[in-house]
Amino acid sequence: MTQVFVEQTTTQLLGGKHALVTGGAHGIGAAVTQILLAHGARVTMLGRNEDLLEEAVRKFSPLGEIGTAAADITEPKAIAQAFATARQCFGGIEILVNNAGEASSAPFLKTDLELWRRMMAVNLDGTFHCIQASLPGMLSAGWGRIINMASIAGLVGGSYISAYCAAKHGVIGLTRALAVEVAAKGITVNAVCPGYTEGDMFEKAVTNIVAKTGRTPEAARAELLARNPQKRLVQPMEAANAVAWLCLPGSDAVTGQAITVAGGEVM
């Protein structure tokens, strides 16, 4: 369930900035949308589910200027059109948060090409397409913030998630390479790497363990949380706070980093 803190302190530290958040209507993306609005940014939420987008607009519109763009991040032409629509509404995109993603698991020898390609298309190709659609404007403006939502799976290995791990490692490699390329152009590029986070993706992981092992949901949750020194789930707003900090004044020297928000699970 997405956490929503409607009484969050508001600032204008990002006043006038236009942020586009992929997968911005639910989970961590919704928390990112909320916190960027609270800092004064105008936010475009991009996603595939128009009903979900409109529901999020109703929820968050009291916090500031918010719009939507419907597109599948794996489709370059659709992304180009969606970003053009977003720019028509709120001007150039100065902050890009590549949050949309998908996790699927299978033993390596049961990871077929379809699963492999889907993990790459959603988690890595989609990030690439969105950066290509927004970077020219950032270069022209001489300022930009790109935050890629990776995962601790982009930093360490994990059984049964070889395709997802490979894609998220690719996201971090892309983050570091691009950070070097644009370092002198007023643009920072970073990744945020949450651990298991409360929400739909965690519940899908639990359901998958139950289906494949016969364990109870409680046992499956306990197994996943046992790896976390804090013995708890990351909350969506905790990951969103890291995203916001990377956009705010004072973070200008932080680029090419993979920041973990995982309760000490990766050190």
How many angstroms separate the CA atoms of 208 and 203, rounded? Answer: 9
Residue 159: other Cβ atoms inside 10 A: 9
164 is catalytic: yes
Closest CA to 20 of 52, 53, 55, 51: 53
The identity of residue 199, as a single letter, is G
What SS3 state is found at 228?
coil
Q: Under a CB-based contact definition with an 8 Å cutoff, are residues 96 and 130 in contact?
A: yes
Q: Under a CB-based contact definition with an 8 Å cutoff, are residues 21 and 46 in contact?
A: yes
Task: Select which of 128, 164, 196, 202 is catalytic.
Answer: 164
How many angstroms separate the CA atoms of 255 and 45, rounded? Answer: 24
Phi-psi region of 116 (alpha: psi -120 to 50; beta: other; left: phi over 0): alpha
Q: Under a CB-based contact definition with an 8 Å cutoff, are residues 125 and 74 in contact?
A: yes
Active-site residues, by number, are: 164
